[in-house]
Every structure is written in C-alpha cells, then in structure tokens.
C-alpha cells in the first residue's frame, strides 16, 4: 500500500516553531507602507507590488542587496508604537500557520533614539509579544487542552561590526571613543546590550530569552564579543550566533568556544573545506570531522534557513538539494527549520518545511523529528518542568495530526 503523501495542507496544519526570525525582516508589507507614510520614511515604491519588485525580491544578486530592505524597515521602527505593533502582528502571523513557538530576534540598538533607550525598545517589543500571546491563548480550545498554547520569546542581537551611519546610538560610541580600536567599540556595545538584556529578563521579567551576534563574519571574529556572551552565560540566557553563513567552519568553532553557543544561526558551511581560511588548520577534513562530532554530541542545534540561503548563495539558488541540510541530518546533527525573514525572504514556515520535504525526500518520521527539535531546543521562557509538559503537548499534537493524514509515527505516550 503506497504511503500517504505529505501535502502542503498537512504541513500547514502541523505544529511548527521558528527559532530564527528577525523582527525587522518580517513586517507585513501593508504595515510597512502605513508606518512609512505616518513617519515620513521615503520608500522606493508606495505600493505592495512595487516594493516586491524593487526591494523584497524572490532572488537577490548578493547579500548586500538582500540586506537593503532592512534600511527601510528599521527606519520605520524608531518608536514604541511601531515596535509593539510589528511584534504583535508577527506573533499573530506565526500562529495563523500553526507556528506554536516563535523566537523573535532583533538589534535593539538600531532602534534607539533621543529619549528612547535600549530598555524602552525591549519593553515595546515584549509588550507586543505578550499582547499577542494573551489574545491567542484565549481560544477555548487552548483552555480545554485540545490545542497547545502559543509561546514566544525575544532574542537580542549584537552586531559584529557597525558604522556611525547605522544609527545615532552607534555614532555616539565613535564620538565618545575617537581613538579606540574599532573592535573595542564593538565589544563595548555588545556588552552594553547584554547588560540591558539581563536586566530586562531578571529585573522586569520580560520574555528576553537569548543573546545573538549577527553581521559579517569575515574579519570580525566572535571573540571580540566574548565579554558580552560571558555575561549572558552567567545569567542563563540562551546563546546563539550567526556563524558559518558567509564564512567557514572555524567561524562555527569560534561561536562555540568563545561565545558558549547553544545554537548556531545557519551553519551553512559546516562541512566545507574550501571555506576554511585559517592557515593553522592543516588537516581540514580532520578539523571538520571533529567539529561535526562536537556539534552533534552536544546537540548544538543548527538553525537552517533554506530560502534565505538560496537567495544569498548562488550555488544553491537553482538546486536546493545541494544544501548541506542533507549532510547535517546524515551526521545526526540537531537541526531545525526557520524562516530568517518572512518579508525579506518572502517565505513562511509552511514554505520552509515544504521545501525541505520536497528537496530531501523527508518521510513523516523525519519530519516529526525535525519539527520537535525546534521546540526541544528553544530558549523557552519558563521553567524546565513546564517546558517538558508543553513540548509533550506539542509532540502529541504533531503525532495526532500526522496520524489523521495516514502517517502513524506515534511513540509511547506519557
């Protein structure tokens, strides 16, 4: 008897998580237009179709072109009202396609302006998240335990490097420290952010659950941000690092050793010898083998963003089967699928999972494992016992949904 197909409709119904989700890359297009008009931000077009043609494309020539859209979104997110709104809407959009857990990440320092500091920025985003959670979880089906509750957390992003033109807050650093080496300035900014994140979580009880490092890897090592990550580590924040996205395996190694990374954002070049640039690594294959084993054994989860990688890595654009996701699974790494940017990449979690199913011929059991990794390896904003019970409710829902579609992959229930 032939196996039942894994259809897009089934994927849409399955519980999903999104652990790598940038707030400023995931606005609703209509919201961006409204905010730009109200805040007098000039966009390349005043229509959704125009923005999709000129800015938020299906394919980009390179990473700089991909990042261009953030200039416009960040410019529209310079006050509490706009930040709260987009965080709220993003949670609703996630839950609408059965994403039951989202970790929304962004760089608060990009949104700081006169009279509106880092803690104010964090409060605004967290208000939006909490408002959405409260509204979503009012559903009687959630109250009866028939549907898992929606959860979300916030991850703050430090930048590997920045320039004064990135914003007033960054400019102030260069003005205050005109003779300091750039790496010292970057380190101070990330440490300031880590302190704000810790204070927001511990003193205010905000759902700030993790710390991230984003930006160009080449020439801007993770070690520069060691003090910030040490502080986050000492205060039990989750640690993730963008690594192996546009640099090689040694970048992933740095994230793990210098920043205590629990997860890796992208990790695309984990297996690539040609991306190793450190001349001290003589036996490149041996280095990769040991790194992969370390990542696998310690369940350092890889946050894979297929569409985003296709858009910025030419060799993947027309043949997704070349993506190292297959090797990651063969090596028994902990992997989870993510959108990266719902607007900039014009994708959803349903799209990402469907792409993976088709490109890598995933069966129902493999799909179940990948979906559950996202929930298990989340920086869940609660105690461990609560997380265990919540993940079990998600697992039951995944298995029941698959069984209803003719895929019985249920294990023992408890």
Domain coordinates of the chain in residue numbers? Answer: 8-404
Cα–Cα separations (whole angstroms), residue 374 to 263, 335, 371 = 11, 8, 6
CA angle 51, 108, 183 (to 5 degrees): 105
Distance CA 160, CA 224 (A): 8
Q: How confident is the model at residue 62 (pLDDT cuts 50, 70, 90)?
A: confident
Distance CA 107, CA 194 (A): 11
Cβ contact 316:322 at 8 Å: yes
Distance CA 65, CA 61 (A): 6
Compute the average pLDDT of residues 311-327: 91
Q: Calculate what percentage of the chain has a pLDDT beyond 90.
A: 89
* Beta partners for residue 238, in sequence order: 210
Cβ contact 106:23 at 8 Å: yes
Distance CA 106, CA 121 (A): 10
How much is the pLDDT for 2? 61
How much is the pLDDT for 412? 47
How much is the pLDDT for 411? 65
Compute the average pLDDT of residues 278-286: 94
Determine the 3-state secondary structure of 145 from DSSP.
coil
Q: Per-residue pLDDT for 10 more than 50?
A: yes
Is the model's pTM score more than 0.85? Answer: yes
Q: Per-residue pLDDT for 1 more than 60?
A: no
How much is the pLDDT for 414? 36
User: 204-215 pLDDT, tens per residue?
Assistant: 999 999 999 999
Q: How confident is the model at residue 4 (pLDDT cuts 50, 70, 90)?
A: confident
Compute the average pLDDT of residues 90-105: 98
Q: How many helices (H) and strands (E) does the chain have?
A: 17, 8
How much is the pLDDT for 159? 97
Q: Edge-to-edge, what's the strand order for the sheet holding 238-243?
A: 16-22, 99-106, 151-159, 208-214, 238-243, 263-266, 301-304, 335-337
What sign does the CA torsion over 4, 399, 358, 363 have? negative
How much is the pLDDT for 58? 84
Please pick, among 84, 151, 217, 245, the residue that the annotation labels catalytic: 245
Compute the average pLDDT of residues 38-46: 95
Cα–Cα separations (whole angstroms), residue 31 to 24, 44, 108, 350 = 12, 15, 20, 22
Nearest to 383 by CA among 236, 263, 167: 236
Distance CA 69, CA 17 (A): 24
Contacts of 393 (CB under 8 A, 6+ apart): 145, 148, 149
How much is the pLDDT for 413? 42
Nearest to 377 by CA among 294, 226, 288, 261: 261
Mean pLDDT of the chain, nearest integer? 95
Label residues 369-382 b or e (16+ Cβ within 10 Å = b). Answer: bbbbbbbbbbbbbe
Compute the average pLDDT of residues 389-407: 96
**Topology at the third CATH level for domain 8-404:** TIM Barrel (3.20.20)
Cβ contact 54:95 at 8 Å: no
Q: Calculate what percentage of the chain has a pLDDT beyond 70.
A: 99
Cβ contact 277:238 at 8 Å: no
DSSP string, 78-119: -SHHHHHHHHHHHHHHHHHTTEEEEEEEE-GGGG-BTTB-HH
* 245 belongs to the catalytic site: yes
């Amino acid at each position: 008897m032939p196996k039942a197909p894994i259809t897009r409709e089934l994927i849409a119904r399955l519980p999903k998580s999104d652990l790598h989700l940038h707030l400023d890359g995931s606005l609703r297009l209509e919201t961006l237009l409204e905010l730009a008009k109200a805040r007098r931000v000039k966009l390349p077009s005043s229509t959704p179709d125009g923005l999709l043609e000129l800015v938020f494309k299906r394919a980009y020539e390179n990473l700089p072109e991909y990042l261009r859209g953030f200039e416009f979104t960040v410019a529209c997110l310079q006050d509490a009202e706009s930040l709260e709104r987009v965080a709220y809407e993003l949670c609703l959009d996630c839950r609408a396609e059965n994403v039951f857990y989202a970790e929304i990440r962004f760089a608060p320092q990009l949104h700081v302006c006169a009279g509106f500091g880092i803690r104010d920025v964090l409060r605004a985003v967290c208000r939006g998240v909490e408002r959405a959670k409260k509204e979503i979880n009012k559903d009687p089906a959630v109250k009866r335990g028939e549907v898992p509750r929606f959860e979300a957390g916030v991850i703050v992003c430090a930048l590997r490097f920045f320039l004064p033109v990135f914003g007033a807050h960054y400019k102030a650093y260069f003005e205050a420290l005109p003779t300091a080496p750039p790496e010292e300035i970057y380190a101070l900014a990330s440490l300031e952010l880590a302190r704000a994140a810790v204070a927001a979580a511990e003193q205010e009880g905000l759902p700030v659950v993790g710390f991230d490092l984003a930006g160009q890897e080449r020439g801007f090592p993770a070690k520069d941000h060691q003090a910030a990550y040490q502080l986050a580590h000492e205060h039990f924040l989750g640690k993730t690092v963008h690594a192996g996205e546009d640099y090689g395996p040694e970048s992933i190694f740095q994230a793990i050793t210098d920043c205590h990374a629990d997860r890796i954002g992208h990790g695309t070049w984990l297996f690539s010898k040609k991306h190793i640039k450190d001349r001290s690594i003589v036996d490149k294959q041996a280095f990769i083998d040991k790194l992969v084993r370390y990542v696998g054994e310690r369940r350092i989860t890889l946050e894979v963003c297929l569409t985003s990688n296709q858009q910025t890595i030419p060799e993947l654009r027309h043949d997704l089967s070349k993506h190292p996701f297959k090797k990651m699974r063969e090596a028994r790494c902990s992997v989870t699928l993510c959108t990266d940017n719902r607007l900039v990449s014009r994708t959803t979690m349903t799209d990402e999972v469907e792409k993976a199913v088709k490109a890598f011929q995933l069966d129902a059991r493999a799909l179940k494992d990948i979906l559950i990794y996202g929930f298990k390896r989340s920086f869940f904003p609660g105690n461990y016992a609560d997380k265990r019970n919540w993940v079990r409710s998600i697992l039951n829902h995944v298995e029941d949904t698959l069984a209803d579609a003719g895929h019985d992959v249920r294990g023992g229930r408890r």
